[in-house]
Chains A and B, each alone.
Chain A
Amino acid sequence: MASIIELKNITKRFEEKVVLNDVCLDIEEGDYISVIGASGAGKSTLMNIIGALDNQYDGEYFYRGHLLKRREMDRYRNEKLGFIFQQFNLIPTLSAYDNVMLPYVYSALDNQKIEEECEELFVRFNLHNQKNQIVNTLSGGEKQRIALIRSIIMKPEIILADEPTGNLDMDNARLIRSFLRQMNEEGKTVIVVTHDNAFANEAKRKLRISGGKIIEDEIVYPLI
């Protein structure tokens, strides 16, 4: 399968400290990758670089064989990536609907059916009654579901989730895991950072990071 993302010799330093050391990584289209490792190992740093949130590094980032330039990163994040954060990262003073539509506001694309699609997603995630409520007034689970809808509203090719179940109860965590699985089944490339081994084992490929290097890259075989 063709690489959707290719990282070549990525090195990231914080002042003198090397956080990622000459990391190379090929991510194929339709992959489901989990990234695990101890705190401070460099998981989130790698995730930030894959998510084009951090562009201060040495090395090269290719998207479908195209070298990604810094000035292209805003648009890349907007159109190709869907983010799910541990802290939800919703704008508390806006409604659920406005938060979901936020990526579209900053998009150069014109989708006539976006409102319809948004409505369907709210129904699918059982949030149609909360659509116009200010995010501040919603529960943690509801906020995370809004973040899920927001991550796919632009129909991204890649979904990035950084500790997505960290702040959730079991039911909501289960929902996230099932959502990511489903997205992968629908053909999206999913990359998730987690501490949870069971969750990591749901992926097709597991990367273990330690000391700023990928020390393990294994194919996970589903349990029969």
Chain B
Amino acid sequence: MKSYIRLFKLSVKLYSANMKRNLYLTISVAVSIFLFLIAALFVDFEYATYVKGSKRVQENYIYISCEDKELYNLMQQQFDKKSLYLCMHTMTGGNLYIDKKYRIDIDYNIILTKNIPQNIYIHSNLEAHGETDNSNEYSFEKIELVCGADEFTSSNQVIISEEYACLLAGSAEDALGKKIMMGYNGAQDVYSVVGVYRQFLTETRLNKETVKEMESMYTKGNTAVDNTPLISTVIMPETAFSDIDISSYELYVFLTGKTEQQKSIYLTRISKFEEQDIYKDKFTYITPKDIETANQEEWQINMQTKAILLLIVAVISGISVFGTMINSVSDRRKEIGIKKALGASDGSIMLGFVFENLINSLIAIIIAAALAGFILLGYIFYQRQIVMSDYTVRFYGETILLFVIYTVSSVLGFSLLPAYSATQINIIDTLRDE
């Protein structure tokens, strides 16, 4: 063991002495590791976020998609109206965004905004967002009416969030009956506030600082903080969107708090629809098992993606390690000859090269990990603080295993042959070299 330690120490010294020559190798290995880390961890984090979201849907919601409005209305009647919730989507500046994917046409639509909106934009391209069962359905928020009505009698009525009401009128009660100007579909219109609701804020939608700010606002007796960019929600009647052609209707049944018996009743009702031939082609019910299967398929895709990535970077770094080491062996013939003359065995000559490559790889890993970490931290910050998504960071054992396989193969696999060629040189010839 002590002789291995001595050999390792010598390898460190030789590596430092040849640092300039090794620079190309270090950079190329670092780049390949960096590419792998960035891509693999990005794929993992996206997957973890997706799984977390889908699990929440799996645990808390029944998701049904209907392609027929009549069927949709029939379906609605099968559920307790108070169990149907939806709250989505993001916005920037003074514009409002509604994503059809998240709309439920029960009595109203819910729209999120920061400040009093100037314009409303409708996202009508469902494909652009992918299929709902493949999306992260984590943005549902339960809401509770604080005051006013929870129904609309005209299309120019809105229900607004408590924090929005505070901004508008100072308190929820004072906001009732207020008229607000909102832009929608290229035209401005006046809307009357008929209700105020409270949103159950979670860290999944808002960063901690904003939540804290809102909590403090509530404890101050609904006093608005001027110029505070809060996320608010405006609930508008379905009739306000009557001119929009809805091709697909999605229903989310909120299950949290329901007894097993209630859940079972819901499922029986759904299955009855499912069984009817006339609805068969117009009806999609995503079961928890479907979600589980989808997750497993996603995981397979995830692993395949990483394996392909690994193969690509392994080939790139392999060629680089191999080429650089062959050059290195050729440049260091005299040194190898001296070592052999002094009694170094073929094994220890090879091990010396492997050690040097190991040191090189460790340095490359540190550089690559630092860079990748820096970029990923920035991305995580962007996702959590700017986009405010529930971005999940999780390290999977399989990825680490792949990484270890990659490192070992690049350190050992690609350095063994050049190292072996080093042992085959003729001592006498090399000692004669000037």
Distance A12 CA – B387 CA, assembled complex (angstroms): 79
Q: Which residues of B contact A134 (CB under 8 A)?
A: 17
Contact with A along B418-434 (1 / 0, CB 8 A): 00000000011001101
Do residues A106 and B341 form an inter-chain contact, with CB atoms below 8 A? no
Does A104 interact with chain B (Cβ within 8 Å)? Answer: yes
Do residues B343 and A89 form an inter-chain contact, with CB atoms below 8 A? no
A-B pair number, CB within 8 angstroms: 75
Distance A134 CA – B14 CA, assembled complex (angstroms): 12
Does B342 interact with chain A (Cβ within 8 Å)? Answer: yes
| A106 in contact with B348 given A77-B341, A93-B14, A94-B13 (CB within 8 Å) | yes
Does A182 interact with chain B (Cβ within 8 Å)? Answer: no
Nearest-neighbor residue (CB-CB) of A134 within chain B: B17
Interface residues on A, range: 20 to 34
Contact of A48 among B9, B10, B334, B428 (CB under 8 A): B428
Q: Which residues of A contact B344 (CB under 8 A)?
A: 74, 78, 105-106
Contact of B342 among A77, A87, A95 (CB under 8 A): A77
Does A122 interact with chain B (Cβ within 8 Å)? Answer: no
CB A113 to nearest CB in B, in angstroms, measures 14
Contact of A89 among B3, B341, B345, B348 (CB under 8 A): B341
Does B402 interact with chain A (Cβ within 8 Å)? Answer: no
CB B334 to nearest CB in A, in angstroms, measures 8
Do residues B3 and A107 form an inter-chain contact, with CB atoms below 8 A? yes
Nearest-neighbor residue (CB-CB) of B427 within chain A: A53
Do residues B342 and A102 form an inter-chain contact, with CB atoms below 8 A? yes
Q: Which residues of B contact A61 (CB under 8 A)?
A: none
Does A90 interact with chain B (Cβ within 8 Å)? Answer: yes
Contact of B17 among A53, A83, A93 (CB under 8 A): A93
Nearest-neighbor residue (CB-CB) of A136 within chain B: B17
Nearest-neighbor residue (CB-CB) of B1 within chain A: A110
Distance A102 CA – B6 CA, assembled complex (angstroms): 9
Contact with B along A82-123 (1 / 0, CB 8 A): 010101011101110010001111111010000000000000
Do residues B431 and A87 form an inter-chain contact, with CB atoms below 8 A? yes
Q: Which residues of A contact B340 (CB under 8 A)?
A: 74
Does B18 interact with chain A (Cβ within 8 Å)? Answer: yes
The main secondary structure of chain A at its interface with chain B is: mixed
Distance A54 CA – B343 CA, assembled complex (angstroms): 13
Do residues A98 and B431 form an inter-chain contact, with CB atoms below 8 A? no
Distance A54 CA – B428 CA, assembled complex (angstroms): 7
Does A75 interact with chain B (Cβ within 8 Å)? Answer: yes
Do residues B339 and A102 form an inter-chain contact, with CB atoms below 8 A? yes
CB A108 to nearest CB in B, in angstroms, measures 6
Distance A51 CA – B428 CA, assembled complex (angstroms): 11
Does A6 interact with chain B (Cβ within 8 Å)? Answer: no
**Residues 121-136 of A at the B interface (beta carbon under 8 Å):** 134
Do residues A102 and B338 form an inter-chain contact, with CB atoms below 8 A? yes
Does A31 interact with chain B (Cβ within 8 Å)? Answer: no
Does A79 interact with chain B (Cβ within 8 Å)? Answer: yes
Nearest-neighbor residue (CB-CB) of B7 within chain A: A105
Nearest-neighbor residue (CB-CB) of B337 within chain A: A89
Q: Which residues of B contact A54 (CB under 8 A)?
A: 427-428
Q: Which residues of A contact B432 (CB under 8 A)?
A: 87
**Residues 248-266 of B at the A interface (beta carbon under 8 Å):** none
CB B394 to nearest CB in A, in angstroms, measures 44
Do residues A91 and B428 form an inter-chain contact, with CB atoms below 8 A? no
Do residues A107 and B18 form an inter-chain contact, with CB atoms below 8 A? no
Does B107 interact with chain A (Cβ within 8 Å)? Answer: no
CB B130 to nearest CB in A, in angstroms, measures 57
Do residues A79 and B343 form an inter-chain contact, with CB atoms below 8 A? yes
Nearest-neighbor residue (CB-CB) of B343 within chain A: A78
CB B427 to nearest CB in A, in angstroms, measures 5
Contact with B along A50-80 (1 / 0, CB 8 A): 0101100000000000000000001111110
List 10 A-B residue pairs with CB atoms under 8 Å apart, sorted by A's residue number. A53-B428, A76-B343, A78-B342, A89-B341, A89-B431, A91-B14, A105-B6, A106-B339, A108-B3, A110-B2
* Residues of A bordering B, CB below 8 Å: 48, 51, 53-54, 74-79, 83, 85, 87, 89-91, 93-95, 98, 102-108, 110, 134, 150
Not counting A54-B428, A91-B338, a sample of 13 additional A-B residue pairs whose C-beta atoms are within 8 angstroms of each other reads: A53-B431, A74-B346, A89-B337, A93-B18, A102-B338, A103-B342, A105-B6, A105-B10, A106-B3, A106-B339, A106-B343, A106-B345, A110-B2
**Which 4 pairs across A and B sit closest by C-beta, in order of nearness?**
A78-B343, A93-B17, A106-B344, A77-B343
